[in-house]
Chains A and B, each alone.
Chain A
């Protein structure tokens, strides 16, 4: 492994020095929430980015890569994110903008990419419409509807007739609720109750009680990952809703590896749909997770780190194709239709929308070797974002 790595780097360096105009480094500016309520996002994405450079070499298309990280905490303030993107372009002279933990950051920064004609690689923000905001945006993560629709069709196929939806009362929550309802009712299911809980909600007792009184077959849940999801899961178990025969279904950011341990055993039996699991069985993922644990023994690899990793891979492959040319139009042209095998499975960039196409898996949360994992047992292959149709 190590010899392979060093020889790769050596090869890359040899190639770099051989290249004619390879002097200038490629500067990539990462706009990420590194502190504040979404610090975990920034940490995971930058972990993925750094891991790629450490394992696959830091020379893309003959040019050395330089990373500049800007903390756009809180991550939800578009004015801050936009200012930092602007600064990266104007002052730090970056060639490529990347990162973007949350939707407002991506929305606010999109005009900067358009105006400066710089490629912008979105590594997490998941609102469907993001890629339509600039022709220079390519997404390496996922979209919310993409991860939501499969669990709805799976539920309808698996004898779940009556569903109660509980989503956080904010944009992404409304999107998830809308997509779930659409797919689920189209497949013949029935929504027997719906609640939008405040985003900041330390106590789910009233909602859990309401669910218990309604007695649905399943609850569809969408909450921003964090303390709220843990509170919900613990409450769900405490009240014995599982024993009452109520299933819990959600998108996979709920039992994300970063907070799975904090949820504890209350996450067992949860069924989710998502594009990445640490427990995904493939040689690529095995190599990825092993390298990850070696580099970051205190963290667990999750979907955000993979999106950072794949985002770097995309940049690397594009620059290989363009011989290190980072011109916005050429970059995007080269990125369209690109496909590769990521730790999450086979993925590609939709030439029409510049958005990601990937397999979405249905998983159950189980304990493997004493560790909580999301184990995949079903899948929807090569699934495009349904939010853009």
Chain B
């Protein structure tokens, strides 16, 4: 039982750190490999707020999201928007360039060492139910992750903004013709993606650590989640994260010898049988 619980928590952690990418890559079709840089930004903002300014953890999270969103908007206005029409490969080159720069910037201001983060007492520790040990922070991650997933899914599928976004991505010209302010839709969506990335980074510090290499170290995980989930929807990312998390934890618990292979094997096998991902929109480019 505990193994399953841990797997779910581990999966939702994956979901949280990669959901921002599901938005920028999955919804906007921008190969934003600098996603991890936004996550790192969120992590550092969180650490500064907590350790230097004494802001409580829960209060810091919304600030983190806002700061990340603002930085996202600034970059979108100055740089990203010029590349919406560029090829995937140019986007890769561009966003990796940003990653390199962000690594150096973080290194310059914070040094190469791991950053400390002390959780409030109410979020640490564990309580025991019969046959199940529940880590409080893990439970917290599960709750937040599910809330974000449900909220996003509703926003994309159920609101006017979501419909505009899908229209703007699929065919910007027609969308413009229909009176949709494509520019505004993209800025807002990008801000949302950045905010989620920052939030994921801040929530991940406790378990993933935080140093200037963060954007590179976890890039593989972000991509796995989005690829397995299938681009273009949040539900897919959530299910993909859960499957990977549970397989990973169970694999390591029962057969630790192959622990390192599980996550990659799950990905490759999934993609062989479902090249568009679990819930891929076949219409996506």
Contact = CB atoms under 8 A, between A and B. Distances in A.
Contact of B212 (A39, A209, A298): A39
A261 B111 CA distance: 14
B252 A206 contact: yes
B51 to A, nearest CB: 10
Interface stretch (A82-90, A181-189, A231-239, A285-293): A231-239
Interface in B183-217: 206-213, 217
B116 A238 contact: no
Interface stretch (A5-13, A190-198, A333-341, A354-362): A190-198
Give the size category of A's interface with B: 35 or more
B90 interface: no
Interface residues of B, number: 44
B126 A239 contact: yes
Nearest to B135: A238
A138 to B, nearest CB: 27
A337 B253 CA distance: 49
A169 B111 CA distance: 28
Given A37-B213, A203-B207, A205-B9, A262 B113 contact: yes
Nearest to B261: A198
A43 B111 contact: yes
A198 B217 contact: no
B143 interface: no
A240 B104 CA distance: 38
Contact of B252 (A197, A258, A262, A264): A197
A239 B213 CA distance: 28
A203 B111 contact: no
Contacts of A387: none
A205 B112 contact: no
A39 B113 CA distance: 8
B208 A40 contact: no
A324 to B, nearest CB: 35
A42 B116 CA distance: 20
Given A37-B217, A231-B207, A203 B13 contact: yes
Interface in B31-62: none
Interface in A239-256: 239-240
Contact of B211 (A226, A238, A263): A226
A268 interface: no
A230 interface: yes
B29 interface: no
Contacts of B213: 36-37, 39
Contacts of B172: none
Interface in A280-331: 298-299
A230 B207 CA distance: 8
B114 A259 contact: yes
Contacts of A231: 207-209
Interface in A43-62: 43
A109 to B, nearest CB: 22
A379 B71 CA distance: 52
Nearest to B263: A198
B159 interface: no
Nearest to A36: B213
Given A37-B213, A37-B217, A234-B207, A169 B10 contact: no
B103 interface: yes
Nearest to A234: B206
Nearest to A259: B114
A234 B119 CA distance: 11
Contacts of B207: 202-203, 231, 234
A35 interface: yes
Contact of A227 (B9, B114, B126, B257): B114
A11 B254 CA distance: 66
A238 B126 contact: yes
A228 B2 CA distance: 21
Contacts of A367: none
A266 B58 CA distance: 21
B83 interface: no
A40 B206 CA distance: 20
A15 interface: no
Interface string B125-142: 110000001010100000
A261 B118 CA distance: 10
Contacts of B133: 209, 239
Contacts of A258: 113-114
A202 B263 CA distance: 12
Contacts of B206: 234
A207 interface: yes
Nearest to A194: B256
Contacts of A206: 3, 6, 249-253, 256, 259
Contacts of A298: 111
Instruction: Select the residue from A39, A201, A206, A207 with max chain B CB neighbours within 10 A.
Output: A206
Interface in B1-25: 2-3, 6, 9-10, 13
A210 interface: yes
Contacts of A203: 6, 10, 13, 207, 248-249
Given A197-B256, A206-B3, A206-B252, 15 more contacts: A37-B217, A39-B112, A43-B111, A198-B259, A200-B217, A202-B13, A205-B9, A205-B249, A206-B250, A207-B256, A209-B3, A228-B209, A239-B126, A262-B113, A264-B117
23 contacts: A39-B213, A40-B113, A40-B211, A196-B256, A203-B6, A203-B10, A203-B249, A206-B6, A206-B249, A206-B253, A207-B252, A207-B256, A210-B256, A226-B114, A227-B209, A227-B210, A231-B208, A231-B209, A238-B124, A239-B126, A261-B116, A262-B114, A264-B116
